[in-house]
Structure 1
């Protein structure tokens, strides 16, 4: 059994336990010796961050080759169009290559906690929300995808990773769960027969 901490990372908190520049870190919210973050969440993003005390599980969660779905609530500048949602779903051309097909849908403004500081409002420019799920882990990928469609991201909240979600967690809160880690099924190489000297 391994333990996993589900943490609702607030805005402008680093996904690590120390910082040389005096910024807020995970250590300001929880004490978890022996735990490491399974993947990252940008300083200016919010929401679900997973930490575990098991190295194999950390790799299963964080390594992009396992293609865990990560679901985000995304507030963008402008009224997101059907064409943009279709393009996001099919894959977007980025500087480091096209993104994999995603799941994208328009949503009404979600009932979530206020951000501190709040997103700057511009009365002349509307905003809208979408739910976007991706299976990759490129640097600032969601922000780059929406920007490529002409809809800059204003606020980004990770709601879910695989089957784990934020349910019941306010910013800065966490809960710990036990997770069964399957043993590797990789076959062992047969050992060559030993030779005895006579």
Structure 2
């Protein structure tokens, strides 16, 4: 079984938290399922959960090279050089990233309002990018965009390989047998 979950902003990607912060347990009442991968608390969008250890491994193993697709709202308007740098790979503290697939996109019409709005600077425009990566390093997309001078303001994962968030609203899930 696979569960497609649209993880809201400010929710931990685990089922318990000693500090009482919102967790997956606040949204999913299905026993013995585990997140295949993670999304940071301040990131939103598609999270896969499964009851199969093998499937979990297959989904998260970097050797499988499954693309993860993100819609990223960044501060500023990226230059061609910044986009090219992301496409070629970025040198981060933990090493060089694999090349990414990057393109500018218009404001996504399907995008929901976030519970806590992003910070906005009066004289600094924002832009949207679609970024596809094969890796899953800690806060990778945020670190990549910051490294080229266009910090991430909002990050929404829309796809993991062939799985897509579809029309799921934040906090909703769909079970696939």
TM range (shorter): over 0.9
Q: Paired residue for 2:147?
A: 148
Q: Distance in 1 between matches of 2:11 and 2:89?
A: 30
CA deviation string 1:121-158 (max 9, x = no partner): 21111111100000001000000000000011000000
TM-score after normalising by structure 2: 0.98
Q: Secondary structure at the match of 1:85?
A: helix
Taking the aligned partners of 1:81 and 1:171, their CA distance within structure 2 comes to: 32
How many equivalent residue pairs?
A: 176
Q: Please name the residue that 2:77 is paired with.
A: 79
State the shift of 1:103 in Å.
0.3
Q: How far did residue 96 of structure 1 move?
A: 0.8
Query: What SS class does the counterpart of residue 130 from structure 1 fall into?
Result: strand
- Cα-to-partner distance string for 1:57-86 (whole Å, 9 max, x where unaligned): 000001222111000000011111111111
Taking the aligned partners of 1:88 and 1:17, their CA distance within structure 2 comes to 34
Question: For structure 1, which runs of at least 5 residues remain unmatched after alignment?
Answer: 179-198
- Asked if 1:117 corresponds to 2:127, the answer is no
Q: What secondary structure sits across from 2:117 in the alignment? A: coil
CA distance in 2, matches of 1:13, 1:99: 27
Match of 2:91 in 1: 93
CA-based RMSD of the aligned residues comes to 0.7
1:48 aligned onto 2:46: yes
- Structure 1 stretches of 4+ with a deviation exceeding 6 A read none
- Work out the CA distance in 2 between the residues paired with 1:121 and 1:27: 32
Mapping for residues 20-59 of structure 1, pairs under 5 Å: 20-59=18-57
Whole-Å separation in 2 of the counterparts to 1:44 and 1:174: 19
- In structure 2, the gaps of 5 or more residues are none
Match of 1:186 in 2: none
In 2, distance between residues paired with 1:141 and 1:46? Answer: 14
Equivalent position to 2:5, from 4, 7, 25: 7
Q: Which residue in the other structure is 1:16 paired with?
A: 14
| Residue aligning to 1:60 | 58
TM-score of the aligned structures, taking structure 1 as reference length: 0.87
Give the whole-Å Cα distance in 2 for the aligned partners of 1:159 and 1:87: 23
Tell me, in whole angstroms, the C-alpha distance in 1 between the residues paired with 2:142 and 2:30.
30
Larger Rg: 1
